[in-house]
Amino acid sequence: MEDPLCFLNSPYESFDWYEVSVEEEKWTSWQNIVQERIRQKGIDKGKGLRDYQIYSKTIPKEARRPCHPVTPDIKRKFSRKQWEREVRQWKISVHQWVDKNSSL
């Protein structure tokens, strides 16, 4: 009598689980690379704006404190909508900082 929990002599015995997990991992890393490039384009557009140019000249990166606007991390896990919200909020905070400190 065959053991129902044993996969020997079943259609699954030739299935290579390791190969599938490696392929999924490759696909996921490829997706991450594409996603990071798309996100970096959005960040680059934001850094090309006049307000960001003023902000970065006024406060060099080394001199920034936690109270200053922070560029979103492209590697952080976000849904597309969350990412867009983060970038929008970052651009708004840079704009507000420039408006507030334009007399400097």
- Distances in Å between the alpha carbon of 28 and those of 5, 22, 24, 81? 32, 10, 6, 19
pTM: 0.70
Token reading at 72: 């979103």
Residue 23 confidence (pLDDT): 54
Query: pLDDT of 83-100, one tens digit each?
Result: 999 999 999 999 999 999
In angstroms, rounded to a whole number, what is the distance separating the alpha carbons of residues 14 and 49?
A: 57
In angstroms, rounded to a whole number, what is the distance separating the alpha carbons of residues 37 and 17?
A: 31
- Residue span of the structural domain in which 86 resides: 43-104
Does residue 27 fall inside a structural domain?
A: no
Residue 13 confidence (pLDDT): 47
In which residue ranges of the chain is pLDDT below 50? 1-20
Q: What is the CATH number of the domain that holds 57?
A: 1.10.8.1120
In angstroms, rounded to a whole number, what is the distance separating the alpha carbons of residues 10 and 8?
A: 5
Q: How many domains does the chain have?
A: 1
Phi and psi angles of residue 71, each rounded to the nearest 5 degrees, phi first = -65, 130
